[in-house]
Amino acid sequence: MRIKFDFVPDERDGNPQMIYFIRDECRCAFDIRTFTHNIAELYLIIGGTGNSFIESKTYPFERNDFYIVNPYLEHSEFLRKDQSFDYYIIGAKNFFLPPTEESNPAVPRRFAANSPIPLLFNRIFQEMSEKKLKSEEAANCYFRLLTVEIERAYRQRIAPLESKYSSVVGEAKKFIDERSFGNISPYAVSDYFGCVHNTLTKKFKKEVGCS
């Protein structure tokens, strides 16, 4: 059963912020359908086995494996025969952990069940499930501790992803992403930003790769 908790970010805060927390399960095989997000996603596998598919590479995972999908990376999770798994996902704004020669955050890393990272995922879930007084405040505190433990584990600082787009293209992409469930005319986007349609379309195609 899928359980999701949403959080309201502070737009003035440039530090990592939790946008949502999901507990989900996967019990049947499905085709690989890739997704991209403008935020990072932090995954903890809490039971079973499966596979992640990130930027055309496949990584097997199992219980207590943790991995990070940085913003704008194509990714998915899938099953092979006789596999199933349960997992947590945290959507994190202002969060980017670049790969290094020593470690790639997209590659699942095994942690002991009593190590800080799995424990903090569990504490966030417990707080939000029990709906105690100030549960959301407590959950955000645990999330901040989680980012500290991630920095310790990977030995580098978490930072917001520097935009790879010009300001107008970045804003246009954000406008489209926020309305991804509806049909949006390119002319409507141009009109919204007060741009000449052909000019914005050419810039968008050059920087994003599609129009």
Mean pLDDT of 131-160: 93
Whole-structure pTM value? 0.76
Q: What is the pLDDT of residue 187?
A: 72
CA distance 207 to 149: 35
Q: Nearest Cα to 76, choosing from 113, 36, 114?
A: 36
pLDDT at 72: 86
Task: Compute the distance between CA of residue 163 and CA of residue 73 in angstroms, rounded to an integer.
Answer: 14
Average pLDDT rounded to a whole number, residues 104-112: 94
pLDDT, one tens digit per residue, over 171-202 is: 666 666 666 555 677 777 666 666 666 766 77
Q: Is the pLDDT assigned to residue 170 strictly greater than 70?
A: no
- Predicted local distance difference test score (pLDDT) of residue 145: 97
pLDDT for residue 167 is more than 70: no
Structure tokens at 50: 């499966």
- Burial of 81 by CB count in 10 Å (0-12 exposed, 13-18 middle, 19+ buried)? exposed
Q: Are 148 and 142 in contact (CB under 8 A)?
A: no
Least confident among 110-119, 158-167, 174-183 = 174-183
- CA 48, chain centre distance (Å): 21
